[in-house]
Amino acid sequence: MIFNRLRLCRERGWAQISAAEYAAAWQRLGGSVATHPQVVERLASLAGIPVRYLGWLERGELQAALPTWGRHLALSKDVLKQQGKRGLFDLGNAEIILPVAPGACVPLRHQARYVSPVHAEQFNTLREQPEGLALAREPEQYSKKFRYNQRREQRLLEDAGGSIRPMLELSATEQAQIYADLFQRRWGFEATGKAHLAEVFGLLREFMTGSLIYLNDEPVAIQVLYRVEAPQWVSLEYINGGVDPTSREFSPGSVLSFVNTQTAWEQARALGKPLRYSFGRADREYKDRWCNRVPVYQV
């Protein structure tokens, strides 16, 4: 009874909608990687946790839509932890952009973090988080010296036998093996969801993008990137990466960041859309080299 009253309060003004209606709202109003209909559906199915979709209607028109797990947005780390499935999959600290109509202002009462500044005026229940979000700068925002040094590092790497290859040349199993190995070497502990990496990479394969770096045909740097195209922008999440420390003299991690960001900007500009390339929480010095810090919000 208490649970039902809490849900009624939390969902006041919202109505249950179908998965198809949510998908149509996302395709019309936009969103980000972590709210994409297929990302939500596939990862929720992997977790075995059903999604309840909600919509905010005004004069019969859908103004906003949410995928939810109880009192949280769907794919919440907190819910996975509560269900004994902590670390089942890794979406990092992804930017949350939900399907919301321009000019709409609605209450979001479900718990959420890293809610995009796009929604600063659209949800009237947000409060700013202490941590910011790191969004990749446009290529022109890097100094000429910085760009010169990155190209020089790439040339030195290639002269030493390095090569840059698309992630999608590899199967999901190969991606998982290389990522798990290089992550362990770089950080000294296992990657989140190691046991399910191949399955997750397979489920999200159509959204995976970017390249990895080989040195003398051995992988030395990898980044897990997911990309979706919304009507108004391209959303790209840099989840995490791994580097072989023994190749540090060639800076493969830095070279890979340069290659992946430059390619993403080129692709987005070819579409005539802005790029929201998120490095997640603005918590590490290296992110400041590549990104601008922007405010994010929570409920």
Output the domain CATH number for residue 159.
3.40.630.30
User: How many domains are contained in the chain?
Assistant: 2
Give 283 or 259, the one with higher predicted confidence.
Answer: 259
Instruction: Report the distance separating Cα 197 and Cα 225, nearest Å.
Output: 13
Domain boundary residue, one of 131, 147, 163: 131
Q: What is the mean pLDDT of residues 85-106?
A: 94
pLDDT grade, residue 5 (50/70/90)? Answer: low
Does the pLDDT of residue 6 top 90, yes or no? Answer: no
If asked whether residues 140 and 287 sit together in one domain, one would say yes
Residue type, position 8, single letter: L
Are 215 and 161 in contact by the 8 Å Cβ rule? The answer is yes
- Does 269 fall in a domain? yes
Are 131 and 280 in contact by the 8 Å Cβ rule? The answer is no
Give 101 or 6, the one with higher predicted confidence.
Answer: 101
If asked whether residues 145 and 264 sit together in one domain, one would say yes
Does the pLDDT of residue 145 top 60, yes or no? Answer: yes
Structure-token pair, residue 119: 């929604």
Quick one: how far is CA 288 from the chain centroid?
Answer: 18
Instruction: Report the distance separating Cα 148 and Cα 244, nearest Å.
Output: 24
If asked whether residues 115 and 190 sit together in one domain, one would say no
Are 276 and 236 in contact by the 8 Å Cβ rule? The answer is yes
Does the pLDDT of residue 65 top 90, yes or no? Answer: yes
Does the pLDDT of residue 110 top 60, yes or no? Answer: yes
Does the pLDDT of residue 10 top 80, yes or no? Answer: no
If asked whether residues 213 and 142 sit together in one domain, one would say yes
- Does 277 fall in a domain? yes
pLDDT for res 179: 97
pLDDT, tens digit, 9 for 90 and up, residues 227-236: 999 999 999 9
Percent of the chain with pLDDT over 70: 98
- Does 299 fall in a domain? no
If asked whether residues 151 and 270 sit together in one domain, one would say yes
Structure-token pair, residue 152: 């020089």
If asked whether residues 85 and 219 sit together in one domain, one would say no
Q: What is the mean pLDDT of the chain?
A: 94
If asked whether residues 60 and 194 sit together in one domain, one would say no
- Does 167 fall in a domain? yes
If asked whether residues 86 and 75 sit together in one domain, one would say yes
- Does 168 fall in a domain? yes
Give 100 or 11, the one with higher predicted confidence.
Answer: 100
β-pairing, 297-298 with 162-166? Answer: unpaired
Does the pLDDT of residue 150 top 70, yes or no? Answer: yes
Residue type, position 3, single letter: F
pLDDT for res 68: 97
- Does 281 fall in a domain? yes
Q: What is the mean pLDDT of residues 197-224?
A: 97
- Does 228 fall in a domain? yes
- Name residue, tokens 């199993």: 173
pLDDT for res 8: 73
pLDDT for res 59: 86
Does the pLDDT of residue 94 top 90, yes or no? Answer: yes
Percent of the chain with pLDDT over 90: 89
pLDDT grade, residue 9 (50/70/90)? Answer: confident
Domain boundary residue, one of 65, 100, 131: 131
For 233, residues 6+ apart whose C-beta sits below 8 A from its C-beta are: 30, 268, 273, 274, 275, 276
pLDDT for res 3: 54
If asked whether residues 274 and 140 sit together in one domain, one would say yes
Q: How far is CA 197 from CA 173, 174, 182, 286, in A?
A: 8, 10, 13, 25
pLDDT, tens digit, 9 for 90 and up, residues 111-144: 999 999 999 999 999 999 999 999 999 999 999 9
Instruction: Report the distance separating Cα 79 and Cα 187, nearest Å.
Output: 26
State the pTM of this model. Answer: 0.94
Are 236 and 264 in contact by the 8 Å Cβ rule? The answer is yes
pLDDT for res 4: 67
If asked whether residues 66 and 199 sit together in one domain, one would say no
Which domain covers residue 37, as residue numbers? Answer: 2-131
pLDDT grade, residue 33 (50/70/90)? Answer: very high
Domain boundary residue, one of 80, 100, 131: 131
Cβ-count burial 80-105 (b if 16+ within 10 Å, e if not): beeeebeebbbbbbbbbbbbbbeebe
Q: What is the mean pLDDT of residues 35-58?
A: 97
DSSP symbols for 43-94: HHHHHT---EEEEEEETTEEEEEEEEETTEETT-HHHHHHTT-TTSS---S-
pLDDT grade, residue 7 (50/70/90)? Answer: confident
Instruction: Report the distance separating Cα 36 and Cα 41, nearest Å.
Output: 9
If asked whether residues 122 and 153 sit together in one domain, one would say no
If asked whether residues 170 and 233 sit together in one domain, one would say yes
- Name residue, tokens 């209606």: 21
